Structure 1
């Protein structure tokens, strides 16, 4: 029942929030709901791997061969933990932000959380698709109702991209369903499929494009910077910190094990797209003046490295990807919180209009620097171990002839990330204060708590990453076994 509670708490909490016609009550209620979800997630971590309460199954659409089956394994535990940690920090960090009809805003945020956890725990393809849409639909309303001046055209673009991806994914999942002997949507039935090569190619592109849009991978990325820029910052935090992981998760859970030959055959092409995206996004990030757009392009580069590593199909690489999904979510959340605090205080996100903040807000400066350095994977920060494992996974891959080339080209991103990150730190925090930043003040206690918690996670998992490695170790072996990598190499 623990896994079911992870979904029910934010789902019921979101529905209740719709009825709270007072903004402060909705805000407090949502924070309490998110803390309760975090508590249940921590309880789940303390349970043995095969504890009955970590899985739940019930009848749902039996006539279609679909059941309400959810389970917490290594990867879903990690991503549910990320989701559960992120929501209280988002609500605390944005506590002073005012929203019209706040009860609707917080209700939609909680429904999105329920959808995300459902995606990460679903063991049934139709259920997976249901939660995928449950996570996305509230975001359309969050962006269109509480976004910036260009929110309507930007949300429409976001809708077109994600709707197209969803349709392609549904077609792919239905095709797989009709190939199962027992007409079942269960993940076990999909894993037992042995499709002809041409069929695998067809379904691969249906599913991969759907997941590539959500990550996003070059050239399916163009919706992201505009959406991140125009969305309310709390929603951007969810989009960037958690929701992009849906695409990475989908490739690992549903593409590699179900379509191993297609993943192997198209691996070099996908890795090429990913590496192009890494370098392209990093160069574009160097040219940005808007903090939101800089962080958006930085996120594209980080996700591109994860996508490339997945198709290297190595144990160290996949484990690095799973660690990095968690660590990237924590780090990017910290950066978005800083952007929210800066924009709220100075009414601008342009680096050219900032400067000298460190003199007036030392606590913000210290926390910002640590989070920014974690974003470039400095040793002793949480992202270092995961990124090192990913580069090692690409370099040691035996499923591609171009492993050294891919590793070298992707490695350029380390230098580029250092350039745009250090430039951001210098322009925002140091130098002389100007008319806008002269009256800067330091952050409040709740804001220090949010950023302090993130810095604590950065340092703890940077110095001692073993708990994350232990959590995902068995899952990686299972996925690679299902993908038949050893057979493909022969």
Structure 2
């Protein structure tokens, strides 16, 4: 059995969910997402046993295009992140009612299918198709099932769609040029093509525009906060927890190895842009009065640090980036789920309209606090491991990068603790905050268990991703 089965499983699951009807849709979607998570663990076991479950088959003969799916430690880490978070996200939505739920859950599974395809693709044309396919379901999820004023929601979602699509076109042009040089779109052949310094600069820049918008990196972030706010909770979790990782993963897998000379030449510029995003996101988060917008800018600061580590071009930087990508995925899903739990009860995202929740439900306050502390990289949590490694890699490049990027720890603690005080503490609100349900507790417990376990023992993930990252850094240093 090869790795293509997981894509078939999710695609079939999306179709089955749609035809299951509105009553059964969420259950069917959960079953298929859970099955994909189990199968991803099976693939991991095969990989660790030395069995390569990759898949390649010719698709188009002229030009040569292959359905090529690659499995190594890096793609496996992203596969596991996507399948497990998709399962958690679907289960977290059980407390909501959606009109036309069969279409809603089918789109969620289809999006997971497309994102996994992006992480596994070893042919540039196939990768580009999956990259663009992932944009379609989230567009409709956010547009149709989003919240707030309809016209404002349309403007936010259309801006997001146009920005990300426009960035992708630059990447497509880069792939067309590379095909002319290499005569192939296979990743291994693109790695082998020899480009001049000037060619590498333009290829690197084209990739950067696509990935900087998707991640996003300052100043290409302007679509993010409004989209996160207007999207339904499931859409926001998919965007922040998984979809932005497509851009970060692609920096490591595609951009750096294909244009290594440009990566080394302009390393300080792109690290500086990423670090600016860290500071900017943290400062803007301090001023937010909307809970989802605050979390959106917090996410901007965290992914800026991840991007800075990736552009440091060291094994420590890339390893820290991957560790923090996974940690951030679970933390941000937990935070946005907490915001959704509050909105279900208070029907608001405005922090000023919250407060006194701890008095009514101390259990929820405790769960929220643990996730919040993980977000600010409290030692023994997964985020601490990732941020420490990233800051160490930046220190090895330039101490000032590490010092400036390190402000995210201080500023993050300020705005997150202040948010917790205003949302959870204070006198009892006149509105009743219903205690968290068993289903909601399960979601929090699973997320917290991951954050604490890998915060204390990150070795399994580190061992999984280090070999392919060493190969990538070795290739960069050889050229």
TM-score by length of 2: 0.97
Which residue matches 2:60? 61
Residues 135 and 161, structure 2, Cα contact 8 Å, conserved in 1? no
Q: Tell me the CA shift for residue 384 of structure 1.
A: 0.7
The one-character-per-residue Cα deviations of 1:365-400 (angstroms, maximum 9, x if unpaired) are 111101000011110001111111101111113xxx
The one-character-per-residue Cα deviations of 1:115-170 (angstroms, maximum 9, x if unpaired) are 01000111111110011011111111111111122221111101110110111111
SS in 2 for 1:378: coil
Are 2:423 and 1:428 equivalent residues in the alignment?
yes
Q: How does 1:167-186 map to 2 (within 5 A)?
A: 167-180=169-182, 183-186=183-186
Which residue matches 1:408? 403
Q: How does 1:383-394 map to 2 (within 5 A)?
A: 383-394=383-394
SS in 1 for 2:95: coil
Q: How does 1:209-288 map to 2 (within 5 A)?
A: 209-288=209-288
Number of paired residues? Answer: 476
Q: How does 1:61-460 map to 2 (within 5 A)?
A: 61-148=60-147, 149=149, 150-180=152-182, 183-397=183-397, 403-436=398-431, 439-460=432-453
Residues 3 and 53, structure 1, Cα contact 8 Å, conserved in 2? no
Q: Tell me the CA shift for residue 16 of structure 1.
A: 2.3
The one-character-per-residue Cα deviations of 1:314-360 (angstroms, maximum 9, x if unpaired) are 11111010111111001101001111110011111111111111111
Q: Tell me the CA shift for residue 18 of structure 1.
A: 2.5
Distance 1:45 1:359 in 2: 44
Q: Tell me the CA shift for residue 54 of structure 1.
A: 2.0
Distance 1:126 1:225 in 2: 31
Distance 2:162 2:47 in 1: 42
Q: CA RMSD in A?
A: 1.2
Distance 1:274 1:456 in 2: 30
The one-character-per-residue Cα deviations of 1:171-221 (angstroms, maximum 9, x if unpaired) are 1111111110xx110001000011011111111111111011000000000
Mean Cα displacement is larger for which, 134-143 or 30-39? 134-143
Distance 2:471 2:112 in 1: 27
SS in 1 for 2:23: helix
The one-character-per-residue Cα deviations of 1:276-329 (angstroms, maximum 9, x if unpaired) are 111011000011111100110000001100111111111111101011111100
Distance 1:53 1:189 in 2: 20
Residues 165 and 213, structure 1, Cα contact 8 Å, conserved in 2? yes
Residues 354 and 433, structure 1, Cα contact 8 Å, conserved in 2? no
SS in 2 for 1:69: strand
Distance 2:129 2:272 in 1: 32
The one-character-per-residue Cα deviations of 1:233-275 (angstroms, maximum 9, x if unpaired) are 1011000000000110111111111100111112111111111
Distance 1:467 1:49 in 2: 11
TM-score by length of 1: 0.95
Distance 2:335 2:6 in 1: 26
Which residue matches 2:460? 467
Distance 2:52 2:380 in 1: 35
Distance 2:95 2:374 in 1: 27
Distance 1:231 1:53 in 2: 38
Distance 2:86 2:435 in 1: 23
Distance 1:6 1:237 in 2: 21
Q: Tell me the CA shift for residue 421 of structure 1.
A: 0.7
Unmatched tracts of structure 2, length 5 or more: none
Q: Tell me the CA shift for residue 51 of structure 1.
A: 4.5
Mean Cα displacement is larger for which, 64-73 or 45-54? 45-54
Distance 1:28 1:268 in 2: 49
Residues 49 and 73, structure 1, Cα contact 8 Å, conserved in 2? no
Residues 58 and 64, structure 2, Cα contact 8 Å, conserved in 1? no
SS in 2 for 1:396: helix
Q: Tell me the CA shift for residue 19 of structure 1.
A: 2.3
Residues 355 and 429, structure 2, Cα contact 8 Å, conserved in 1? yes
The one-character-per-residue Cα deviations of 1:52-99 (angstroms, maximum 9, x if unpaired) are 452011121222121001022111111111111111211221102111
Residues 323 and 386, structure 1, Cα contact 8 Å, conserved in 2? yes
Residues 357 and 429, structure 2, Cα contact 8 Å, conserved in 1? no
Residues 271 and 307, structure 1, Cα contact 8 Å, conserved in 2? yes
Distance 1:383 1:62 in 2: 46
SS in 2 for 1:273: helix
SS in 1 for 2:62: helix
